[in-house]
Chains A and B, each alone.
Chain A
């Protein structure tokens, strides 16, 4: 019997994923020996794991091409995916920092939380670096299955159950579409490797006449749109975000979205560059719809978690603008924006988590009356996050939006940029409404239950720094983002 010819494996290309999964498995074992009131230590251990994971990411930056790809071209750890991996790690670390307090308060501090977060992060990384549809699909599923559990993690609370179940049913449904798209694409091109699809399309230009291929790409787009919560596939977002435990809402509002965009960008930009006018026309409509639906619905929300859920839909719309632009400026803008979104959104959720009490009774915007006077520092932090979300300088959110919209203008999508700016202006209303309650209403509550743990304070500090520093001196990060663009 002939021996198996092993492929060129190159572990360096999947080093971050390997470390994260190894740490996750070790934590599962350690978890057995840790008493339930000390589960916070698992969080610290996982933070150490995340810090270690930053090393291969920094080391892999600008690595020679032959070191980037691994497993017969199934993954490609280029600068693009490294930048996204950085975003995932930041969002995972910040969410872990705020998890323990919440989980203890709600009485569900099971140690399995941290391994699941780490494995979900590994799934996101595989999505960002996968260059084979199979790897992208499995990374997506690794991420989604972990998130279904995390959304329903507070299993004694009905809302959390509902969030998990809803996320699961709609997620599995969208997976069906994604897979059907992949199947048709495989049938039309005979390969699942993105580079192979690109080569086939380049060699057979008459494939545009093959409706099967187009339908396949379209269905894949639908599947990805579900994951990034673009309208009209956004229905699950508000319910899931509202019902899920707050730290997990923070986690799933950033990382999975960024991962979805990374895979979406790679598939469409590499496999279908020749048909950019066609798909960017579709995405144009999607972007406008997503921004508008997200912002208009957010105007009427009373629950602050729901409001941020709709705002995250709107933000997906802004990022889609950069995708439509499809040039280097727009893509760098997407990456910069997703990174600053990680800081500002998780920061905002960290404050929401503090204001909420057991069972989260006061999540309404009106409950923030006088919050800014009772806790000036926390109020200031919240204002910074809200300013950044609204896109007001000098916060990082402004720079990101600026780059995305200027990318759109450079590519000739003037109207899209105008609609984006108008939407951004409309969004100021609902962010400022929270500030009005914080600073211009008399306090109803004493907010004396607020207890800022060291971990929480660290999360807030990092988030504020992450919003302000790139907002004031964006040069370095933007340069990194521009180097990370893969075309």
Chain B
């Protein structure tokens, strides 16, 4: 038996790596992959808790998170393709027509 906090710490580390990636990378696709990393860290947290508490709820939640991730991936990648068609780049630093 691996104790619960170990899983939580691993998922916390993965979540932080994802956060750093989202905040620092320029490529929109890489940013999206970092978001996926964050979501996966959340999934690990849910399943670890679900196991610890003996409740299936957390695993069902993970199932829905995966569905949402798939839906978001479809729409997000379509947005990136539309952006790329007009801009020839998916660098978020190019998302700068609008500045205050």
A and B: direct contact (Cβ < 8 Å)?
yes
Residue of B nearest to A172 (CB): B35
Considering the complex of A and B, which 10 residue pairs feature the smallest CB-CB distances, nearest first?
Answer: A176-B38, A187-B49, A183-B45, A161-B83, A179-B42, A172-B35, A158-B86, A155-B82, A239-B98, A164-B79
Most chain A CB within 10 A, of B52, B68, B71, is at B68
- State the A residues within 8 Å of B (CB): 134, 137-138, 141, 145, 148-149, 152, 155-159, 161-162, 164-166, 168-169, 172-173, 175-176, 179-180, 182-184, 186-187, 190-192, 238-239, 242-243, 297, 300-301, 306
Whether B17 sits at the interface, judged by CB under 8 Å, is no
Per the CB 8 Å criterion, the residue count for chain B at the interface is 42
Given A134-B61, A168-B75, A173-B22, A179 contacting B82 (CB threshold 8 A) = no
- CB-CB under 8 A from B28, the residues of chain A are 165, 169
Cα distance, A165 to B35, chains bound together (Å):
14
Residues of chain B whose beta carbon lies under 8 Å from any beta carbon of chain A: 8, 15, 18-19, 22, 28, 31-32, 35, 38-39, 41-42, 45-46, 48-49, 52-53, 55, 57-58, 60-61, 64-65, 68, 71-72, 75-76, 79-80, 82-83, 86-87, 92, 95, 97-98, 100
A222 to B: closest C-beta gap in Å: 12
Interface contact B64-A172, CB-CB below 8 Å: no
Known: A152-B82, A179-B39; 20 extra A-B contacts, CB below 8 A, are: A138-B68, A141-B72, A145-B71, A145-B72, A145-B75, A156-B86, A161-B83, A169-B22, A172-B32, A179-B42, A179-B65, A183-B42, A183-B49, A183-B58, A186-B46, A186-B57, A187-B48, A187-B49, A191-B57, A238-B98
Contact between B75 and A148 (Cβ–Cβ < 8 Å)? yes
Name the one of A156, A159, A182, A191 contacting B97, with C-beta atoms under 8 angstroms. A159
Instruction: Determine whether the beta carbon of B64 is less than 8 Å from that of A161.
Output: no
Task: Evaluate whether A172 and B76 lie within 8 angstroms (CB atoms) in the complex, with A165-B28, A165-B95, A179-B42 already known.
Answer: yes
Residue of B nearest to A133 (CB): B61
A-B contact pairs, 23 of them (CB 8 A): A138-B64, A141-B72, A149-B75, A155-B82, A157-B86, A158-B87, A159-B98, A164-B83, A165-B79, A165-B92, A169-B28, A176-B15, A176-B18, A180-B38, A184-B45, A186-B46, A186-B61, A187-B8, A187-B48, A187-B52, A191-B55, A239-B98, A242-B98
Residue of A nearest to B61 (CB): A134
- A345 vs chain B, min Cβ distance (A): 20
